Amino acid sequence: MSTATVAPESTAYTPSAESIAAVLAPGEKPRRPGPLSASLTFGWRAMLKIKHVPEQLFDVTMFPIIMTLMFTYLFGGALAGSPREYLQYLLPGIMVTSVVMITMYTGVGLNTDIEKGVFDRFRTLAVWRPAALVGMIFGDLLRYVLAALVIMGVGLVLGFRPGGGVMGVAAGIGLLVVFSFAFSWIWTWLGLILRSEKSVMGVSMLVLFPLTFLSNVFVQPTTMPGWLQAFVDVNPITQLVAAVRSVMTGAPEAGAITWVLVASVACTAVFGALTMYRYNRK
Amino acid sequence: MAVNRTGLAVETSGLVKTFGKTRAVDGLDLAVPAGTVYGLLGPNGAGKTTAVRMLATLLRPDGGEARVFGHDLRTEADAVRTRVSLTGQYASVDEDLTGTENLILLGRLLGYRKPAARERAAQLLAAFGLTEAADRQVKKYSGGMRRRIDIAASILNTPDLLFLDEPTTGLDPRSRNQVWEIIRAVVAQGTTVLLTTQYLDEADQLAGRIAVIDEGRVIAEGTPGQLKSSIGAGTVHLRLRDAAQRPEAERLLAKVLDTTVQQEADPVALTARVGGSGAAVDAAAAGSRALAELAGAGIVVDEFSLGQPSLDEVFLALTDKAARTEEKA
């Protein structure tokens, strides 16, 4: 570190009218970037933030590993005879649970980010308005993929053998990422309407815990009482897990897959619109 | 650059913004001529920041009209955005990113291709003396450097109108002077600058015209000279050696200066406002006459100063006046 040379430099600066005039010279103003290009630029910002603060990847690496190990060995023997047997059923579900839980950090991140002045700058730019948020979620998609790959890696080491092969696994992760992108818009909306990151966290947990546990992630719903089955059947996570599980085992269920895709579009449309409504009025 | 017929960068009439029951901006009328530095002067909570945030399209007005270069703030927000830039009170750059990354990011968002954005970032960093800090995260910058990267980010789009919200608050004197120099250089290029400040001397140094704002409204408007002479050219402060001589000194001063003299809490201090409306030039003469008179009467003066009215004094005088007119009406 060249701290010795930096200190005098920063105080010795005298603004030069010529150099400031040069940067203000009325050159050709570039054409405004399109929605995709602007969103990708904001996605690049998310990448840079990961580069500068790599610790933020803890939640997408350590948390999924702990989840997978914990539930495989906690329930495996009791529910399926052996952890290895149970893993064949559990892995797609625990992957969905982990990634869906990680989506809430999108809302938490937005809530802390937007309190800083930099969003003022973004909002005074004449770019496609949702770009800043879409780009942020693009960055998060990378985190989702990373978490899914970490879990798949742990699963393979522990003995998970997906019948669908590489294509099946890739399709499963693809479905999960599409759904997570859509689901993230709920958190961006909450991130904008709730006052602090703590409350975003609290509300997210309140929604996510029942949604992920009261589903087909850990056990077959047929073992549950009727009223609980009724909830599990309408739970979107159940549909998502069914779809992911089906493609990974190599027997795609068209119904569940369609449901996931339609729900993703609907969720993006509704909560994307609500998010933008709040964002424009913040 | 294309300026609308009136030659005004900003014109508002009856602009209102409420937060719950608070009327932060309450019927603001402004006319900012293009190509000048215009100062919004007022204490904390006067509504300066809210006004600027509305004009920069960050807040929606609740009432009134506002145009920026002839574009309606509400219906043509994107057209306004291509012409303006804002440097807020808090860093409006990403503190986790380096100086270069911040400027490339903004350049890309304005539509520059990557090589052009990179080149422009380097050019701006050089102009603002930040080349050596280019690859450091902004959170590691000093206060003055942060302000500079902020202003650099604001002029990246060569705005026609630059909003600077309290640009020197919290800066040391050297950094403050640097920011002043930058503002002068920017306005010399034809950019209009709308500056908010709590400091009269800052407005005085930079602004061609000033609007004094209180409780969300303009209570006085004019050139710095007009504003100062409207409340008196200056203030005489003096401290005597002997507190016992104060009553006599007060009597003498009142006679010579033909004004009321105030006794301060400090038992040896006196304050008097000199040179009423239009009498600005006489302030210094009146001051020295007073000093001679006191010396003649054998009163020892330890400290004597003839200063411009401070913002407090301008402000108190103006709000006094506003209160008096209301009583009359």
**Most B CBs within 10 Å: which of A9, A121, A125, A127, as the mutation test of the B interface?**
A121
What is the least distance, in Å, from the CA of A42 to any CA of chain B? 8
Kindly tell me the burial class for residue A7, based on how many C-beta atoms sit within 10 Å of its own C-beta (0-12, 13-18, 19 or more). Answer: exposed
Chain B residues 119-138 with a CB less than 8 Å from chain A? 120, 123-124, 126-129, 132-133, 137
CATH number for the domain that contains residue B212: 3.40.50.300
Q: Does B168 lie at the interface with A, CB-CB under 8 angstroms?
A: no
- Residue-wise pLDDT for B173-222, tens only, equals 999 999 999 999 999 988 999 999 988 888 888 999 999 998 899 998 98
Distance of CA B4 to the CA centre of its chain: 25
What is the least distance, in Å, from the CA of B116 to any CA of chain A? 10
B320 belongs to a structural domain: no
Distance from C-alpha of B313 to C-alpha of B329, rounded to nearest angstrom: 24
Residue A67 CB contacts under 8 Å (≥ 6 apart), including other chains:
A94, A97, A98, A151
What is the least distance, in Å, from the CA of A136 to any CA of chain B? 13
- Residue-wise pLDDT for B240-296, tens only, equals 998 888 998 888 888 888 777 878 888 888 888 776 544 445 667 777 888 888 888
Chain A environment of B129 (Cβ under 8 Å): 9-10, 12-15
Distance from C-alpha of A80 to C-alpha of A93, rounded to nearest angstrom: 15
**Most A CBs within 10 Å: which of B109, B146, B148, as the mutation test of the A interface?**
B109
Residues B197 and B125 in one domain: yes
Percent pLDDT > 70 in chain A is: 95
Chain B environment of A281 (Cβ under 8 Å): 60
Residues B219 and B239 in one domain: no
Cβ–Cβ gap B109/A16 under 8 Å: no
Distances in Å between the Cα of B150 and the Cα atoms of A69, A196, B163 are 47, 26, 12
Cβ–Cβ gap A10/B106 under 8 Å: no
Q: Does B285 lie at the interface with A, CB-CB under 8 angstroms?
A: no
Indicate the number of domains in chain B: 2
Indicate if the pLDDT at residue B234 is higher than 80.
Answer: no
* DSSP string across B13-49: EEEEEEETTEEEEEEEEEEEETTSEEEEE--TTSSHH
Instruction: Give the start-to-end residue ranges of the domains of chain A.
Output: 34-281
Cβ–Cβ gap A6/B191 under 8 Å: no
Residues B57 and B83 in one domain: yes
B180 belongs to a structural domain: yes
What global pTM score does this model have?
0.81
Q: How confident is the model at residue B6 (pLDDT cuts 50, 70, 90)?
A: low
Of B133, B212, B155, B147, nearest to B177 by C-alpha is: B147
B314 belongs to a structural domain: no
Residue A55 CB contacts under 8 Å (≥ 6 apart), including other chains:
none
- Residue-wise pLDDT for B13-56, tens only, equals 999 999 988 899 999 999 999 999 999 998 888 899 999 999 99
Other Cβ atoms closer than 10 A to A145: 17
B313 belongs to a structural domain: no
Other Cβ atoms closer than 10 A to A161: 12
Buried b (16+ CB within 10 A) or exposed e, A246-277: bbbbeebeeebbebbeebbeebbeebbebbbe
- Residue-wise pLDDT for A18-62, tens only, equals 888 888 876 778 888 999 999 999 999 999 999 998 888 888 889
User: So what's the pLDDT on residue A11?
Assistant: 54
- Residue-wise pLDDT for A114-143, tens only, equals 878 788 889 888 899 899 999 999 999 999
- Residue-wise pLDDT for A198-249, tens only, equals 898 899 999 999 999 999 999 888 889 999 999 998 999 999 999 999 999 9
**Most B CBs within 10 Å: which of A18, A24, A42, A48, as the mutation test of the B interface?**
A24
Residues B238 and B216 in one domain: no
Residues B264 and B219 in one domain: no
B30 belongs to a structural domain: yes
Residues B208 and B262 in one domain: no
Residues B243 and B261 in one domain: yes
Domain of residue B240, residue span: 233-308
Cβ–Cβ gap B96/A52 under 8 Å: yes
Chain A environment of B133 (Cβ under 8 Å): 6, 9-10
What is the DSSP code (8-state) at residue A128? -
Chain A environment of B109 (Cβ under 8 Å): 33, 38, 41-42, 122, 125, 127, 131
Contact B99, B124 (CB under 8 A): no
The tokens of B137 are what?
């995260």
The chain-wide mean pLDDT, for chain B, equals 86
Residues B255 and B218 in one domain: no
User: Pick from B88, B129, B157: which is nearest to A13 by CB?
Assistant: B129
Residues B195 and B74 in one domain: yes
Residues B211 and B283 in one domain: no
B297 belongs to a structural domain: yes
Q: How confident is the model at residue B320 (pLDDT cuts 50, 70, 90)?
A: low
B214 belongs to a structural domain: yes
Cβ–Cβ gap A14/B57 under 8 Å: no
Residues B215 and B238 in one domain: no
Chain A environment of B113 (Cβ under 8 Å): 30
Residues B125 and B273 in one domain: no
CATH number for the domain that contains residue B256: 3.30.70.100
Distance from C-alpha of B250 to C-alpha of B257, rounded to nearest angstrom: 10
